[in-house]
Amino acid sequence: MKLQEYTESKYNFEECMKCTICTAYCPVLQVNPLYPGPKQAGPDGERLRLKDPFFFNYALKYCLNCKRCEVACPSGVKVADLIQSARIRYDHSKPKLRDRILASTDFMGSLARPFAPMVNGVTKMGVTKAVLDGTMKIDKNRTFPKYSGRSFEAWLKRQAPAQAAFPEQVAYYHGCYVNYNYPQLGKDLVKVLNALGVGVQLLDKEKCCGIAMITNGMSQQATRHARHNVAVIGAAAAKGLKVVTTSSTCTLTLRDEYPGLLGVENQVVRDSLLMATRFIYEKLEKGAQLRFRPDFHKRIAYHTPCHLEKLGWGIFSEKLLRMIPGVEFTMLDSNCCGIAGTYGFKKENYAASQAIGAPLFEQIRNVNPDVVACDCETCKWQIEMSTQYPVANPISILAEALE
Amino acid sequence: MKFNTVIIGGGLCGLTCGIALQKAGRSTAIISTGQNALHFFSGSFESLTEAPARMADLFGEAGIRLHYREGVRLMPLGTFRPAALSLEDISFFPKPKIGEKALIVSFKRYHDFFAAFLADGLEKQGVACRIEWLDLPELEQLEKSPSEMRSVQIARTMDRIWEKVVGEIRALVQDEDIIILPQVFGLKDTSVPIRIRESLPAQVVFVGTLPPSVPGIRTQMLLKRRYELLGGTYLTGDEATDAHVHEGRVHSIVTKNLDNHFLEADNFVLASGGFFSKGLKSNPFHIFEPVFGLDVEQAENRSDWYHPQFMHDQPYMAYGVKTDAALHALREGAPMQNLYAAGSVLGATRPEFGSGAGLAVRSALAVVDQILKTEAE
């Protein structure tokens, strides 16, 4: 008897029983009265939009896509997917130049990288920020991510023969951030995996996962990236390789947003892609060993990024960090930091972005850790800018603690 | 990943169970599929009058103070119920005539609190009532999305401005001996309701609103924080989808997010809730428990599951997972050796009376006792 299965819709919106729990967990609703809230923007609005697209509300652009409504929903409604897919289906306005620039992280990275010292100097300047604020509506209070002079891909290519010598191999989907902004995280991953006897390879030319394109009205470009990435990850999987990642948002996008929002089938990704923290934890569970420095001591406060909470894999980061001798671990309350990728860079969102993060920043100041651990690069920018505490990926902390 | 006990369900029952086991030095994980019935909590543990000593400790250490005094409680529609063990937000009275005169204060354009019903009920008891509506500029923001003028959104504002609001209420009081307010205070700061009581010249009574329940969400946050502080692993937004069972023992659980990374444990607790939480499901032919396929009490014919009169006792509300006396869940008539059922999945509650909370806590503590006793043997 499959009657109920046959009546389920893609995002399960008819399961909504109007309990309003999602509205209690939406970070935007707490700070931006122009946003109609996840219940109204999601299942309630969908009912109207199905009657007539006229009912599409442009205020849906205020959704952070943090997925906290979905995590909170007791009825399994894909509230955030409903909202993002409505934006894809009904918002046909052309994205602004600013949004196109913010969304094109790998294109901008490849442009900026050769001139990194100059670009970093210029984007730090008050006058540049004022001009960007005035002309592009990129908020002047933001600190821009720095670009690295040499890309991670170039670095790893030079290591290829040494990496190939390890008995076990994985491929690494590093993402734009590791490649252009912070290759050190990639190098830290290589260090930890090498210590476990695992060599690291690049994929055959990965592209940006495309999440910023999805949220900035460029779903066609995102779909092209999705098809490409599914193909190269599939090629690695065909060689028997697992594909590891260090960014929670890239991971969620590759696993869940491709089929959910872009309609790109990706079973091969779901079967072979996993966060490096999970890969390492599972190796240790099977008996592999890491040797830690005896003098390592750190007070670590761990922030679970929204997308990692949605994936449900924060547990691996937590368990790995707790495993390091000399770590004093504090789990921070589940709160959104407010940046949500490109969202917080936009002038119209800056105030809301900082207000959303305020409870998290306050808790970090109270805990006063040596370092905040977090698996998301944009959370890192936001927390470092807003609290002055250093933020490190759990992989980097593991690398630092190794003997 | 391996734990001493894996608990399916992150509501009142699962958290009570998890906190008690962590306190006893056991490693636990809680799998929580979306938020839970605490978001509709009235603030009272309906079937309990006094807290078992252990419960008072567990809740007190989490920052949740409970109290009880014989008498009655004022309900949101102006009716009365016998007192029950409650959060400190709830007031008790010796009898329904709770005073001579009551001032009921709510907020303009807030529709989830029924001042007129309250007044009507109280006047039947001989209490004279006056209703006042505060018009606060701080709430204008919320009104831009009229659907969001809800308890939790108001409570967030009140956490910031309650002192100012108390000042405005004080100015409204004439000769009333009772002041009735909606339960929209103290979402994050538990001391706010108590401080409001101390700051006003008459007895302050907080009365429930439509959901979400502000004291309920506060209770959920405090219990979860306490659980994590004790080292418990709370898997938010995950779902137990399958179980590996061998000769009457559960070996591990499969979850939606961890797929092929199974959660192993010595003991398992099913605290997955009733129909609303999908701890119990139905199709046109059966009522079933979706994770383990446990035996569920039910009438054979679907037409006997319900009574055609909506307000009548509904038989299906009493249906739940069958257990033995030690709360081991039954499958095909035989008790599972290391799987216990607790809370609303047991059925036997009356949601219209809110009796789920009392059952959740009592059965959680009973299961913890069983687990520790079995280990000791």
Find the mean pLDDT for residues B184-191: 90
d(CA B21, CA B370): 11
Tell me the pLDDT tens digit for each residue of B202-239: 999 999 999 999 999 999 999 999 999 999 999 999 99
Peptide bond into B212 cis (omega under 30): yes
Strands B101-107 and B72-74: unpaired
C-alpha span between A376 and B268 (Å, rounded)? 33
Measured between alpha carbons, how far apart are the two ends of chain A, in Å?
59
- At B294 the pLDDT is 98
The 3-class SS string of A134-179 reads: HHHCECCCCCCCCCCCCCHHHHHHHHHHHHHCCCEEEEEECHHHHH
* pLDDT at position B353: 60
Pick the closest to residue B266 from B28, B9, B23 (CA basis): B28
Sign of the CA dihedral A384, A386, A388, A389? negative
Residue A113 pLDDT level (bands cut at 50, 70, 90): confident
Higher pLDDT, B110 or A130: B110
Architecture of the domain spanning B2-60+218-376: 3-Layer(bba) Sandwich (3.50)
Structure tokens at B162: 């309650």
Q: Which residue has the higher pLDDT, B359 or A129?
A: B359
d(CA A202, CA A183): 13
Task: CATH 3.40.50 in chain B: give the residue spans.
Answer: 97-210
In chain B, which segments carry CATH 3.50.50.60? 2-60+218-376
Q: Which residue, A280, A271, A222, A274, is CA-closest to A245? A: A274
Q: Is the pLDDT of residue B352 over 70?
A: no
Which element (helix H / strand E) includes A328? strand A327-331
Q: What is the mean pLDDT of residues B331-360?
A: 86
Name the average pLDDT for chain A: 91
Distance CA B134, CA B137 (A): 10
Q: pLDDT (tens digit, 9 = 90+) per residue, B88-106?
A: 999 999 999 999 999 999 9
The one-letter code for the residue type at B159 is: D
Question: Is pLDDT at A3 greater than 80 in this prediction?
Answer: no
Q: How far is CA A334 from CA A228, A299, A320, B316, in A?
A: 34, 19, 19, 36
B334 lies within 8 A of chain A by CB: no
Query: Is pLDDT at A142 greater than 90 in this prediction?
Result: no
Residue-level pLDDT at B350: 63
Strand partners for B3: B265
The pLDDT value recorded for residue B243 is 97
Q: Which residues of chain B does A283 touch, with a Cβ-Cβ cutoff of 8 Å?
A: none
pLDDT surpassing 70 at residue A287 = yes
Instruction: Spell out the residues 6+ positions from residue A52 whose beta carbon is closer than 8 angstroms to its own.
Output: none
Contacts of A75 in chain B (CB under 8 A): 34, 278
pLDDT for the residue A119: 76
Three-class DSSP category at B2: strand
- For residue A10, the model assigns a pLDDT of 83
Interface of B with A in 14-53 (CB under 8 A): 33-36, 39-40
Confidence of residue A143 (pLDDT cuts 50, 70, 90): confident
Length reported for chain A? 403
Residue pairs between chains A and B whose CB atoms are closer than 8 Å: 104
Residue A220: name the closest of A356, A44, A94 by CA.
A94
User: Model confidence over A302-354: pLDDT tens digits?
Assistant: 999 999 999 999 999 999 999 999 999 999 998 999 988 788 888 888 888 99
Of the partner residues B236, B256, B258, the one whose CB lies closest to the CB of residue A334: B236
| H helix runs in A286-376, sequence order | 306-311, 314-323, 350-367
> What single letter denotes the amino acid at residue A308?
L
Please check whether the domain covering A10-90 is classified as CATH 1.10.1060.10. yes
Only one residue has tokens 């490409």, namely A228
**Chain B residues with CB inside 8 Å of A319's CB?**
1
Q: Which of B180, B200, B189, B133 is nearest to B161 (CA)?
A: B189
Chain B: closest CA distance from residue A360 (Å)? 14
- Taking an 8 Å cut-off on Cβ atoms, the answer to whether A21 and B145 are in contact is no
Q: Which of residues 244-263 of B touch A (CB under 8 A)?
A: 255-258, 261
Angle between the N-to-C axes of helices B191-199 and B151-172, in degrees from 0 to 180, rounded to the nearest 10:
10
**Tens digit of pLDDT for each residue in A198-211?**
999 999 999 999 99
- What is the C-alpha separation between B27 and B225, in angstroms, rounded? 16
- End-to-end Cα distance, chain B: 25
CB contact under 8 A, B34 and A1: no
User: So what's the pLDDT on residue A127?
Assistant: 76
Sequential DSSP letters for B327-365: -EEEETTEEEEEEEE-GGGG----GGGTTHHHHHHHHHH
Confidence of residue A241 (pLDDT cuts 50, 70, 90): very high
CATH of A290-401, one of 3.90.1200, 3.40.50, 2.50.20, 1.20.1640: 3.40.50
* CB nearest A74 (choices: B34, B257, B283): B34
- Residues of chain B in contact with residue A36, where contact means CB-CB under 8 angstroms, are 145, 147-148
**What pLDDT, on the 0 to 100 scale, is given for residue A134?**
76
Which amino acid makes up residue B227? Y
Say whether B323 sits in a helix, a strand or coil: strand
Q: What is the pLDDT of residue A79?
A: 96
Q: Pairing state of beta strands A298-302 and A371-373?
A: parallel
In chain A, how long is the greatest CA-to-CA distance? 67
What is the enclosing helix (H) or strand (E) of A47? helix A45-51
Picking from B33, B40, B152, B288 by the largest number of A CB atoms within 10 A of its own CB, the best residue to mutate is B152
pLDDT of residue A6: 65
Number of neighbours of residue B102 by Cβ within 10 angstroms: 25
- Which whole number is the average pLDDT over B240-244? 97
Q: Do B211 and A309 touch (CB under 8 A)?
A: no
Closest chain B residue by Cα to residue A30: B153
pLDDT value at residue A112: 74
The residue whose two tokens read 């009920």 is B121
- Other Cβ atoms less than 10 A from the Cβ of B17: the count is 30
Q: How do beta strands A242-245 and A298-302 pair?
A: unpaired
Average pLDDT over residues B144-149: 74
Distance CA A298, CA A19 (A): 43
Domain B97-210 has CATH 3.40.50: yes
Strands B72-74 and B80-82: antiparallel
Tens of pLDDT, residues B20-67: 999 999 999 999 999 998 999 999 998 888 877 888 899 999 999 999
Min Cα separation B285/chain A (Å)? 9
Q: How far is A179 from chain B (nearest CA, A)?
A: 28
CA of A154, closest CA in chain B: separation in Å?
A: 34
Q: Is the pLDDT of residue B355 over 80?
A: no
pLDDT at A7 over 90: no
- Domain boundaries in chain A? 10-90, 290-401
Do the Cβ atoms of A274 and A242 come closer than 8 Å? yes
Q: Which residue of B has its CA nearest to A270?
A: B259
SS3 A397: helix
On the question of pLDDT at A111 being above 90, the answer is no
Instruction: For chain B, give the percent of residues with pLDDT over 70.
Output: 98
**Confidence band of B155 (pLDDT split at 50, 70, 90):** very high
